[in-house]
């Protein structure tokens, strides 16, 4: 009984996939005609889809506002050593 149910599910999913492919192609063609970019994440599993969408969002954000130029960091000056300190260090040796 389980085998038959799995086979019917497989057959139905293949039918759905066969119907979806031409629809996706038509949709991507429509997006191209409108001058928009069409990305279809529906074929991916959830983690891959999330990564792809996040990467796309990052790229769009970088294009929208380029990174700020970094400030020049000042070099820290070495502390001045006083002669008294040097004498104390020499005496302790």
Residue 59 pLDDT class (50, 70, 90 cuts):
confident
Contact call for residues 40 and 24 (beta carbons, < 8 A): yes
Whether 74 has a pLDDT exceeding 80, the answer reads: no
pLDDT of residue 36 exceeding 90, the answer is no
**pLDDT 10s digits, 7-27:** 999 999 899 889 888 888 888
Average pLDDT, the chain: 78
* Encoded tokens for 87: 């004498």
What is the model's pLDDT at position 93? 47
Q: DSSP of 24-45, one letter per residue?
A: HHHHHHHHHHTT------TTS-
Report the first-to-last Cα separation within the chain, whole angstroms.
90
Distance CA 29, CA 38 (A): 9
pLDDT average, residue stretch 29-41: 77
């Amino acid at each position: 009984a389980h085998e038959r149910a799995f086979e019917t599910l497989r057959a139905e999913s293949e039918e759905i996939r066969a119907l979806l492919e031409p629809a996706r192609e038509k949709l991507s063609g429509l997006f191209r005609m409108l001058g928009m970019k069409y990305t279809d994440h529906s074929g991916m599993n959830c983690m891959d889809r999330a990564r792809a969408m996040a990467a796309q969002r990052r790229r769009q954000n970088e294009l929208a506002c380029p990174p700020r130029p970094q400030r020049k960091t000042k070099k820290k000056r070495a502390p001045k050593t006083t002669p008294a300190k040097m004498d104390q260090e020499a005496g302790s040796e």
